[in-house]
Structure 1
Amino acid sequence: MAGNTADTWAAPTADGALDATVRVPGSKSITNRAYVLAALAAEPTLVRKPLDSRDARLMLGALSALDASWAQEGENVLVRPLVPGLTGEVSVALGNAGTVARFTPALAALSSRPVFFDGDEAIRRRPIAPLLRALSDLGADIDDGGRGAPPFTVRGHGGIAGGKVELDSSASSQFLSALLLAAPAFDSGVTVRLLGGTPPSEPHIAMTLDLLRRFGAAPERSGTEFHVPPARLSCPDYTVEPDLSTAAPFVAAAAVAGGRVRIEGWPGQTTQPGDWLRGLLAELGQRVELDADGLTVTGAGGISGARLDLHEVGELTPVAAAMLCFADGPSVISGVAHLRGHETDRLAALATELSSLGARVTETGDGLEITPAPLHGGLFRTYDDHRLVMAAAVLALRVPGIEIENPATVGKTFPGFADTWQAMF
């Protein structure tokens, strides 16, 4: 049985093996990248099956403030390009959306307006300073009061010179993606040389390069140097893939509760980090089958302890950590120090909340050590982080009495998550 109060969700416990087919919404990462490129295109773009969530709506709201426009057409969204030359100060509401905070300041610099950016208290703690410095070096006029964080103002002067710039993207690959996505509209394009090593989440960088090509740009990469020349963008019709990271708790459910869960529409080829789930679940001992219609995961009756380097797929860490609380031995997750700068400090939050329910979870310099132990019910705090809601739901499959704080925060990426989760039973 599942129940709700205004502030908590009593997530359901599985009474037996699952047998479910699930369709997850469109990818947040792809949706918001497609919206940005559509706003920079020379003609309208019909974005098919985009995610409809708080983050996606914040992006559309930001583009509206920046003088693009959009219209809902059934389950699709028609995005019309930015209109240059309008004047008068405007504001962009960031919420706690990292893609909005990082992808839209460059668009503001292309306008002729002062644009004020601010959002939830949490977004003021998320890293953005290296991106603002790089945009300033490329010709943007940014006043952040020396904070390197919201609130800040971008004073648009009708364009950005562009050119060569150095960027430390070690805290987030979104810094690099932000420059590359806007580069076709810069006077000289952009050449970015990365400092501080390879950014986390290489698949998201590949995703950005793939979408640029689909919209007609010609990005080039040589190791840690990237070049995007000026280009006329056009992609009249673009379809968004299902969000594979949002599928993580559902496929994990097959491993934790037993039985079979099928995800409809799983692409045969994709740049999404969530596609790593196929190899990850196989490594943990589960049966994984991909065919033309989707992905099926069948629980093997147990979960193997493992050492997992999730540097490239850090967003899978919360659900992976929840799964590993039921493993047959200790596990280590590494390579994810950057998760301390996400919606919350995910490593501290996971160590605190999993341990509060009986697991033995400790932080390391770049991850977590997890030693399974008997679990019990209790309050699981989620720190306004959608991925923690999903992780807690996975725990509740085998642990009665878990109350998940603030379940509505999952609306960041999947407003219908609780109903879809309940439908598995």
Structure 2
Amino acid sequence: MSPSPITPAPSPTASRWADPWPAPRARGPVTATVSLPGSKSLTNRALVLAAISDGPSVVRRALRSRDTLLMAGALTALGSSVDTAGDDWVVTPGVFDRDAAVDCGLAGTVMRFVPPVAALSTGAVAFDGDPHMRKRPIGEVLGALRSLGVEVDDQGRGALPFTVRGSGRVRGGTVVVDASASSQFISALLLAGARYDEGVDVRHDGKPVPSLPHVEMTVQVLREHGVEVDDADANRWAVAPGVVRAVDHDVEPDLSNAAPFLALAAVSGGSVTVRDWPATTTQAGDALRDILATMGCTVERVAEGLRVTGPDRLQGIDVDLHDVGELAPAVAALCAVAHSPSHLRGIAHIRGHETDRLSALATELGALGADVTEHPDGLSLRPAPLHGGVFHTYADHRMAHAGVIVAAAVDDVLVQDVATTGKTFPDFADVWAGLL
């Protein structure tokens, strides 16, 4: 069967909006109910496992964004079939027997999750991506694959571009990685591990693993596919060899994408409801409930989902965001307009995300008048009058979220390249403008 055609991944900078965009100011309390697109993290994990499973399956309500279309394109290039024509994507596993080229774009999940799968191919699979992706760490995954007998050619860079030359099988066994820079190093090896002859036993050796909820998400999804995972010991995850059962997935809303909308309630003193908030989830965005409550918001589950009502005065927060670093830009933006000091800790690893987010946040918030101090692993913010100006996003969707949050509370803020939000929410600017 020939692979189904894939809709080209949209450019992260293509937009009908002015650039920089005069992001709207909230002139009063905002009351709104919002539906979010599906989780990128869950969509891409489901796609990977579907492509190496024992039969066709469906990823329902898949997120359609640049990152997920790049993942669909990568798996199709390897030899599977991913039909992205509808809201529910049909995945048919195929034979990985050809040379291929994988465009990672700015998608860390593609750059890290696909090489361990490509190791099962008999072809040479070349990986590259957008210029900034050549700066993001991947060496631990490539080194782990080499230790399992996989041929990897990266010219000693430990970064893009590189080529994986598989033999159709991987021995598997025990690997030791330092995942202190990204939990994705662990997830990448676990996702493909059941298809390795001996499975894979991943052991972390280094500083604490950031964003552990994402590893828990990986383990949960693997178990849904009938894969045996032993995670009883700290810093060790063992996947037994065996069949990856074909399972249909219903993708949850992307809770990290809820951050700017719930923040809008916080800064405007309004009330925003996010539909279909799951009762239980492994998504990092669920931490928004506790974070916003600590800052003075009223947070409640309602029939439609989760409702946040903003306070009269937004309070600062002292919080360790190590496990939920992707929320740091939105939280930092809220702290910049809060009425008491804040300290965000435990997030040195977000320097290796789409951009150095700590430096970028300190620079951009400071340029708008914020009293912000950058630390090696976080930020301190103190109340200060903010003013208008251009908020640069560095091709980073979470930075764009921070920009529009500040703009909702401060006159004359222009957000550069708001279209970068298309990485995980293609219609973000339209939805945001519609609320304001």
Shorter-chain TM-score bucket reads over 0.9
**Ranges in structure 2 where 5+ consecutive residues have no aligned partner:** 1-14
Structure 2 match to 1:83: 95
Q: Residues 268 and 290 of structure 1 are in contact (CA less than 8 Å); yes or no, is this contact kept in structure 2? A: no
Structure 2 match to 1:388: 399
Q: Residues 4 and 10 of structure 1 are in contact (CA less than 8 Å); yes or no, is this contact kept in structure 2? A: no
- Which deviates more, 370-379 or 339-348? 370-379
Q: What CA RMSD, in Å, does the superposition of the two structures yield over aligned residues?
A: 1.2
CA distance in 1, matches of 2:216, 2:260: 24
Structure 1 match to 2:74: 62
Q: Answer yes or no: is 1:102 the counterpart of 2:109.
A: no
CA distance in 2, matches of 1:58, 1:392: 26
Q: Answer yes or no: is 1:272 the counterpart of 2:316.
A: no
**How many Å apart are 1:72 and its aligned residue?**
2.9
Q: Answer yes or no: is 1:145 the counterpart of 2:155.
A: yes
**How many Å apart are 1:324 and its aligned residue?**
0.6
* Amino acid across the alignment from 2:371: R
Q: Answer yes or no: is 1:135 the counterpart of 2:145.
A: yes
Structure 1 match to 2:8: none
Deviation readout 1:161-180 (Å, 9 max, x if unpaired): 00011111000000000000
Structure 2 match to 1:44: 56
Deviation readout 1:281-336 (Å, 9 max, x if unpaired): 11111000013430000011111112110000000000000001111111100000
Q: TM-score scaled by structure 2? A: 0.95
**How many Å apart are 1:4 and its aligned residue?**
6.7
CA distance in 2, matches of 1:235, 1:378: 51
* Amino acid across the alignment from 2:156: G
Structure 1 match to 2:19: 7
Q: Residues 273 and 304 of structure 2 are in contact (CA less than 8 Å); yes or no, is this contact kept in structure 1? A: no
CA distance in 2, matches of 1:166, 1:387: 31
- SS of the residue corresponding to residue 211 of structure 1 reads helix
Structure 2 match to 1:370: 381
Q: Residues 310 and 334 of structure 1 are in contact (CA less than 8 Å); yes or no, is this contact kept in structure 2? A: yes
**How many Å apart are 1:5 and its aligned residue?**
5.0
Aligned counterpart for 1:154 among listed residues 160, 164, 171: 164
CA distance in 2, matches of 1:83, 1:302: 58
**How many Å apart are 1:112 and its aligned residue?**
0.5
* Amino acid across the alignment from 2:329: P
CA distance in 2, matches of 1:352, 1:358: 10
Q: Answer yes or no: is 1:184 the counterpart of 2:194.
A: yes
* Amino acid across the alignment from 1:369: S
Structure 1 match to 2:222: 212
Divergent runs of 4+, >2 A:
3-7
Structure 1 match to 2:4: none
Structure 2 match to 1:336: 347
**How many Å apart are 1:6 and its aligned residue?**
4.4
Q: Residues 318 and 388 of structure 1 are in contact (CA less than 8 Å); yes or no, is this contact kept in structure 2? A: yes
Structure 1 segment 245-324 matched on structure 2, within 5 A = 245-324=256-335
Q: Residues 171 and 197 of structure 2 are in contact (CA less than 8 Å); yes or no, is this contact kept in structure 1? A: yes
Deviation readout 1:139-174 (Å, 9 max, x if unpaired): 211010000000000001101100011111000000
- Which deviates more, 3-12 or 176-185? 3-12
Structure 1 match to 2:10: none
CA distance in 2, matches of 1:5, 1:390: 15
- SS of the residue corresponding to residue 26 of structure 2 reads coil
Q: Answer yes or no: is 1:197 the counterpart of 2:226.
A: no
Structure 1 match to 2:7: none
CA distance in 2, matches of 1:379, 1:4: 18
CA distance in 1, matches of 2:156, 2:60: 40
* Amino acid across the alignment from 1:64: T
* Amino acid across the alignment from 1:179: L
Structure 1 segment 156-175 matched on structure 2, within 5 A = 156-175=166-185
- SS of the residue corresponding to residue 394 of structure 2 reads coil
**Ranges in structure 1 where 5+ consecutive residues have no aligned partner:** none
- Which deviates more, 3-12 or 395-404? 3-12
**How many Å apart are 1:103 and its aligned residue?**
0.1
Aligned counterpart for 1:356 among listed residues 351, 361, 367: 367
How many equivalent pairs are there?
421
* Amino acid across the alignment from 2:341: P
Aligned counterpart for 2:122 among listed residues 94, 98, 112: 112
Percent identical: 52
- Which deviates more, 290-299 or 360-369? 290-299
**How many Å apart are 1:422 and its aligned residue?**
1.6
CA distance in 2, matches of 1:290, 1:135: 44
Structure 2 match to 1:71: 83
Structure 1 match to 2:28: 16
CA distance in 1, matches of 2:19, 2:123: 40
Q: Answer yes or no: is 1:33 the counterpart of 2:50.
A: no
CA distance in 1, matches of 2:85, 2:122: 30
**How many Å apart are 1:348 and its aligned residue?**
0.3
- SS of the residue corresponding to residue 110 of structure 1 reads coil
Aligned counterpart for 2:356 among listed residues 336, 345, 348: 345
Deviation readout 1:92-121 (Å, 9 max, x if unpaired): 001011000000001111001001100111
* Amino acid across the alignment from 1:180: L
* Amino acid across the alignment from 1:248: A
Q: CA separation of 1:73/1:5 partners in 2, compared to 1, >3 Å: closer, same or farther? A: closer
- SS of the residue corresponding to residue 414 of structure 2 reads strand
- SS of the residue corresponding to residue 142 of structure 1 reads strand
CA distance in 1, matches of 2:94, 2:393: 37
* Amino acid across the alignment from 1:55: D
* Amino acid across the alignment from 1:56: T
- SS of the residue corresponding to residue 72 of structure 2 reads helix
